[in-house]
Structure 1
Amino acid sequence: MKNSLDTAALDAAIDNVHRAGMPGLFAEVRDGDQVWRGAAGVADAATGRPVTAGMRHRVGSITKTFTAAAVLQQAESGRIGLDTPIGRYLPTLVPGERGDTITVRMLINHTSGLAEYLPYAYPSLKAFPALADTGPQSLDDHRFTRFDPTELIELGVAAPAFGDPGGTPGLYSNTNYLLLGRLLEQVTGTTAEQCITKNVIERAGLRDTAFPDGPYVDGPHSRLYESWFGMIDPPRDYSDYDMSWVGPSASLISTVTDLNRFYGKLLAGEIVSPSSLAQMQRTVPVISQEGRTIEYGLGLHPMEEPGQGTYWGHGGTVWGGGALAMIRADGRRQMAVAVNLQRWNGLDSSGTPQPHPIDHALAALHRVAMYG
């Protein structure tokens, strides 16, 4: 078979992201049996240690696809009803009328109306995403804080609701996925992390994917540099961080190879049933954390380019790191990219992030990886 991956173009595109200001990044692109892996830049700005394509990495909200898949599996077995009110399962966490009207499905696709708890757990994020008046101090304050997920959920539930349950556009909110974690615990008798590990990570045959059991990343990994829109200069390393502030919403550690394997198995119907996958791909409009309206399914997000088909996957960020994994609807073409700098944009006087050469270079890499 003719190699359909333009490896020279991929090499050039990943180098361009590094040249635009990204300290380090690495990626894997697949087209059928063809695989390209690339890396550019440094994993440690102080020592010059290079990044490699096999490094483990905090993948942020990509975790949500894993959590959603675990919930869909329990729905297939009859332990969870997607359209059952969450109050039937967790009456003390979501009491009263909202518990009676918010369904499990609304949690998975972010149409519950529940607010995001992060601005309340992290005082620096009080104006998030309008960031002109915020600062990074609470990132340092909470580096080793062990958050209680029940307390975080209570913050989100007690905050002013975004809208009515089931209304659209929904609001992308980590509160929803912490509740799904508690739901998995309720119906399986294990922790959400144990349930997802056994039923999703191990089922997919992922060898380098795991939830952290402390603030450190095991195995070869990059430092993660947070710029906080230029307010942290030079960017500070947050690779050591207790991820209990997001838990089953965004704490997973993986590799670009494992991410491609996972999404390949998912779209092949090997993680959830084809009918569950079809439900995961039924989207509604949701307002993202950046304030944009996106289409969102059950733990999956589509990307479309006219004439190029639809891709499915998820992105994620943590303090200092980010990742994106996407797979074409036919399962053939895949991309997973990891970066070790976050919030590299400067802000204008209104607190709006300004375009940066990294944005353009990353978009070009994504285009080459996904569409050739």
Structure 2
Amino acid sequence: MYDYAIVGGGIVGLSTGMALAQRYPQAKLLILEKESSLAFHQTGHNSGVIHSGIYYKPGSLKAKFAKEGSRRMVEFCETHGIQHEICGKVIVATQKEELPLLDNLYQRGLANQLDVRKIDARELKEIEPYANGLQAIHVKAAGIVNYKQVAETFAAIIREQGGDIRLNSAVHRITEKGREISIESESGTYHARYLINCGGLHCDRIARLAGLRTDMKIVPFRGEYYELRPEKNYLVNNLIYPVPNPNFPFLGVHFTRMIDGHVHAGPNAVLSMKREGYKKTDFNLKDFAEVLAYPAFWKIARQNIGEGWKEIVRSFSKKVFVRNLQRLIPEVTESDVVPSQSGVRAQALTRDGSLIDDFMIVTQTRSTHILNAPSPAATASISIGESIAEQIPEPSLL
């Protein structure tokens, strides 16, 4: 019998497990991961950015956890010898109509008490010589790291504390009876006093298995990337972002120097026909049918039809994709970029057609469900895990 069972071995599940193991050293802890390795999906396909929190509404969980989490992430990496770098980023306005949006973002950064400053075109060239822009925001606290390595370190700490991590353990049934929760998985049946759902792309399905009826569904969006050829990496020093469209839930195509030296360009964002669909051809009938049968999807699609169509065109046209990149760095050409790995974002959508913007955590008597944890969840993972652990009853009270 375990005290706590966590479903999901991504960075949020592992950070929660680490927080519980450190908070209650004598507790029996289990983590179930359906893949053959940890941090395989959203964590393993992450852009590697340590976010500052500038984009998020002041007072929101995202804003709080991003600012606190980025500091904690840097401290963790320093303690455990994980390669990372606080390199800073620039958010660039390339057109006059973007200047008011840039100023709004700057004011949000100040409201979130971040170290940000407005810079002109000359100062932008000093930071990113090949970037094109009228004005920009320099965000000093942004950085880069390998989140899969971070997650593996979380797992090592859990194991050192006596926690069990079971791979190849997709969960098929959850039954609560009295003070016990039975979890049937591909690797066997396990029993626990308390369940934590960190299922990421499948968190809504895990919640339903546990008897939780929610007013949301996960809709998967694939983010497709290119990367610069190595001989063109000199075009980007660190991180170059556009001014985001405030009415669209994605940040737009940008340049990201990875911790291994590669420079990624992207992503665009298109509906994935499979919850773990990293290729255009990936298809799962159940996943796709669920999205098409969900009225809220069609509502949000109608509201964003213009931007959505641009994303689709960019997905199938390298020429159009590069044209968007050229707004930030005019020197980039089609021959300078090659396809790179894609990622899939688990976007929570409510029945009324609203995108859930903030983290969504629902607690029941014997379970806690993390139902929306998109970016900056990796940055904020240590803070998220500790916050969840603080809300869960100690073993003697289970």
Q: What TM-score do you get using the length of structure 1 for normalisation? A: 0.25
Larger Rg: 2
